[in-house]
Structure 1
Amino acid sequence: MTASALTRPGERDRLSTKIGEIDWRFAALLCVVASVGGGMLYSVAGGSWEPWAANHMIRFGVCLVLMLALSMVSLRIWFGSAYIVYGLALLLLAAIEIPGVGYTAMGATRWIDLGFTRIQPSEIMKIGVVLALARYYHGATAKDARFSWKLIYPVMIVGLPFLLVAHQPDLGTAMLIGLTGAAMMFMAGLDWKIIAGVSIPAAVAIPFYVMFGMHDYQRHRVLTFLSPESDPSGTGYHITQSKIALGSGGLLGKGFGLGSQSQLEFLPEKHTDFIFAAVSEEFGFVGSFTILACYAGIILIALRIASLSHSHFGRMAAAGVTSTFALYVLINGAMVMGLAPVVGVPMPLLSYGGTVMLTVMIGFGLVMATRVHRYAELPKGHGLI
């Protein structure tokens, strides 16, 4: 008999009991990574809290409080709002295509300007896709999850936002949505024959998509990834400088604030996409490995939380959020090391950026709510109610 079973039902709903259910090791690891990010932003700014480090730490503090507050929210509320959040995000993505509504910057229309602030619907959709898929699979049978005509539903849940986000264009976010959806379908029990049947033609179609389906700048990024040395001072500059920063750090690094690539402005986007290269240069292999170990700890604890949930919705939702986070780390790490094209995916909690941090911490609020309310019983079915 579990400890929870020995607790009277009324006591399980007490705030003090819920706070005691929070995994503080998980929260501590998040604080470590965000603090390292703040320190690195201080360093790459030339030893100044402005313009990045102070804002980064303030945002993390606010987002940490938000995560803890969301962990108190009943899993039934997350469950009931799943399709609503997804539908709202989809409407906002579609609204971007309306002339005069979508806000364009740097050649991409990804935002909606509200006057006092701008929102990026694709970030809301990252949470929306996870919630909608978790809600769907909660009521699906094992046969439906493995292989049946009903697979059209999860495919549409993932495919519609993927196409809308790719059209903005925002290939990095579209990849995250598509890969997160694929990972959740796999974890739900999708037949490996279906996976193979889709993967093979997709692999064959990639070269044709690169040559005829991508925008010119996206195609240049892919071709540069294949041969960055062909234009080291042009399209290959980002990857070349990142590799120099990674290699020059050696075992222990050059020291805090002493990275020549970042301090002398050779490393582009040093506060966002390529901050991990700055970490490697200043703290070497040991520092890089330590950060990656912290990320691994966060992912493993989150997956453990997912496995403990008594509801399929909780398991799928927590695993989906964890998949998105792991993909952030994997894609950015591969990009910085020259193992993947530059697609504008930041290193979560380490890079500067309020929108991504907010999305990640809301997702972790869902993960922690899954832990706090892991014994919650949820109704079956796919309906909105």
Structure 2
Amino acid sequence: MKRIRYGLLLVMTVIIAVVLGGCGGSQGVKTEGDNALYVGVAGPFSGDGAEYGAMWKKGLEIAAEEINAKGGVKGRPIKLIYEDSQADPKQAASIAQKFVKDERIIAELGDFSTNATWSASPIYQKAGLVQFAFNPSHPELTKHGDYVFQLCPTQADQAIAMANLATDKLKAKRVAVLYLNTDFGKAVKDNAVQAVTAKQAEVVATEAYLSTDKDFKAQLTKVKELNPDVIILGSYYTDTALIMKQAKDLGVKATFIASSSVHSPALLSLGGDAVEGLVTLSVFNIGNPGETLQHFTAKYQEKYGASEPDTFAVQAYDALRLIANAAEKSAEQGEITRKSVRDELAKTQNFPAASQNYITYSPTRQLSQPELFPIIVKEGKFVPYNL
């Protein structure tokens, strides 16, 4: 009888150990002696947007390695917890629920799209955990509360720059807008229409397309018939490459201007000759890079063997460095908490960065006086577009 009881007790002990050990896996409760600072990352690491998530990881890995090589934050290493949202609003919200319950996490980075970011924003705001959406550019991205931060110059800023390029540099009188039918794309369209109209040019067409579309001939044919001087794109580099290939086949003669979301070496390889002459905006100065951008570019080339980083890698690099800087300042004032990280991030002034020469936050937790640099695809490379 005693043997039976002992056997049952042993079995129950093993079962309990397995259950407790399996809850949350490596992302579960703190282990003894773990003093790391954890940052959650929610983004597209599989599916249609996986290439963007891959670029995030490259920038984040370099930032984490540099921070930890210098002793972390007051001796505490930075560790990243990745969750794959596929930039899907439902998955982003589910990940947010998971992150806010993990007490190790001091801030979250992501998501990739405006839609996914907004679905999770109320959850992070209510829990008091920073949501640092470093890629989306919607002008109202931070509207859900004071724990939501942005890093990319907004489409309001970019629309003015694109309108100036169209009318002042290219002397355009007739402008069309082709845009992705998402909150991001609609923001590009709405702000571009307003900015172009303010420059006394005519908007002859606004044509939308779906994220699943691969054939843009119907929209391009309609636009071509209206004979615009310039076509403004609210798109990412994958669809931009397809659009411009099909535009070339149809004989579209207009100059294309795109938002900063297309600035990636991948556009050049995907689009080939078709993207020659495309004008876009860079959030960092490739013509006269500052010290931080030069440093990151050298590290990026050394680690990945690539010619140059893109917007997504550069902004990811800065995002983690900004969180670490906020945590460092929190530690100097006392304890590192989710609230102290938020407060110190909001106070950021003149932070040396790669995606901008210096970063200062406005009261809306957006860039104060963001810089944008016009570039053009020339002979298969991005080069400064001198005004």
Global fold match (TM > 0.5)? no
- Larger relative contact order, structure 1 or 2 (CA cutoff 8 Å, min sep 6): 1
Higher gyration radius (CA): 2
Instruction: Report the TM-score, using the length of structure 2 for normalisation.
Output: 0.25
More strand per residue: 2
Instruction: Report the TM-score, using the length of structure 1 for normalisation.
Output: 0.25
